[in-house]
């Protein structure tokens, strides 16, 4: 999946006139859900003194937000960047970050509504999330508010890895009429096949914040197209690069 979406970005940049070996050099760092590796990858890229960084995930974006105010950063997928403190506003981000939003408040409510439609008897729901993700506090607040609006009892189930995922799902399944919501997160993506098999074993309705989870056997997902986000982020890269080149010429 990840190679596919990165290729989509490169292909779109080529259409806009940015080709590897001609006028741009690409350096990549691949991380996991380990925040130490995320920080190390970000610092390694910054040590290369890049003209720009394109980043996927709120975790990595938050790290870059902390580490640099100089290098332009284009994020391809974050939760509400204003509420999470990445940018000043959607109209005028300010600073050195801009890009595309993956999730916002209404999405969580919509996901719970869909769960209620397919499981009308649902009277309780759990949010499965990794608290190391900087968006977890915000998403948890959205989730609890949406559950109140639907008159559904909510449970927060923080997890860090496979064992905690298993315990959380097993514990939640001990009572009837429940349904699960999994946030878009690297921990969930890494364990997607284990998660979908586990949820199926307990016959729990579940909705996921990433299409790859549904493709791995999950019941359903509600999320934007990742390839489309990467393709659209290419225009941000082009605009920022063109602006910076224009400013350099004016300065000269």
Q: What is the pLDDT of residues 149-178, one digit of tens each?
A: 999 999 999 999 999 999 999 999 999 999
> Within this chain, do residues 126 and 78 fall inside the same structural domain, yes or no?
no
State residue 1's pLDDT score. 65
Higher pLDDT among residues 210 and 113, named by residue:
113
What does pTM read for this prediction? 0.84
Higher pLDDT among residues 248 and 146, named by residue:
146
Phi, psi (degrees; rounded to nearest 5) at 95: 60, -150
Q: What is the domain-level CATH number for residue 24?
A: 3.40.50.2300
250, pLDDT greater than 60: no
> Within this chain, do residues 204 and 146 fall inside the same structural domain, yes or no?
yes
> Within this chain, do residues 124 and 57 fall inside the same structural domain, yes or no?
no
243, pLDDT greater than 70: no
CA 218/CA 93 separation, integer angstroms: 36
Domain count, the chain: 2
The mean pLDDT of 52-59, rounded to a whole number, is: 89
> Within this chain, do residues 68 and 26 fall inside the same structural domain, yes or no?
yes
pLDDT band at 133 (very low <50, low <70, confident <90, very high): confident
> Within this chain, do residues 234 and 130 fall inside the same structural domain, yes or no?
no
> Within this chain, do residues 70 and 111 fall inside the same structural domain, yes or no?
no
Contact 73, 96 (CB under 8 A): yes
48, pLDDT greater than 90: yes
- Parent domain of 214: 105-221
| Exposed / middle / buried, residue 120 (Cβ in 10 Å: 0-12, 13-18, 19+) | exposed
> Within this chain, do residues 170 and 209 fall inside the same structural domain, yes or no?
yes
> Within this chain, do residues 112 and 210 fall inside the same structural domain, yes or no?
yes
> Within this chain, do residues 156 and 235 fall inside the same structural domain, yes or no?
no
11, pLDDT greater than 90: yes
| Exposed / middle / buried, residue 149 (Cβ in 10 Å: 0-12, 13-18, 19+) | exposed
pLDDT tens, 72-98? 999 988 888 888 888 988 888 889 999
């Amino acid at each position: 999946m990840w190679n596919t979406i990165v290729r989509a970005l490169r292909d779109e940049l080529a259409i806009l006139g940015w080709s590897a070996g001609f006028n741009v050099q690409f350096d990549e760092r691949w991380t996991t859900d380990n925040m130490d590796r995320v920080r190390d990858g970000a610092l390694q890229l910054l040590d290369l003194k890049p003209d720009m960084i394109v980043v996927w995930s709120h975790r990595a974006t938050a790290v870059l937000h902390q580490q640099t105010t100089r290098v332009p950063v284009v994020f391809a997928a974050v939760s509400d960047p204003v509420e999470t403190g990445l940018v000043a506003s959607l109209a005028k981000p300010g600073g050195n970050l801009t890009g595309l939003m993956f999730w916002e408040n209404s999405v969580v409510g919509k996901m719970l509504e869909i769960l209620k439609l397919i499981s009308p008897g649902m009277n309780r729901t759990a949010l499965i999330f990794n608290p190391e993700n900087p968006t977890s506090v915000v998403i948890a607040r959205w989730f609890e508010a949406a559950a109140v609006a639907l008159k559904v009892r909510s449970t927060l189930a923080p997890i860090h890895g496979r064992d905690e995922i298993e315990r959380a799902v097993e514990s939640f399944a001990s009572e009837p009429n429940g349904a699960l919501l999994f946030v878009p997160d690297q921990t969930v993506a890494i364990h997607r096949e284990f998660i979908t098999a586990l949820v199926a074993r307990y016959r729990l309705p579940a909705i996921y914040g990433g299409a790859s989870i549904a493709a791995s056997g999950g019941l359903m997902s509600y999320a934007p197209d990742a390839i489309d986000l990467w393709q659209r982020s290419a225009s941000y890269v082009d605009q920022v690069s063109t602006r910076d080149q224009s400013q350099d010429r004016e300065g000269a």
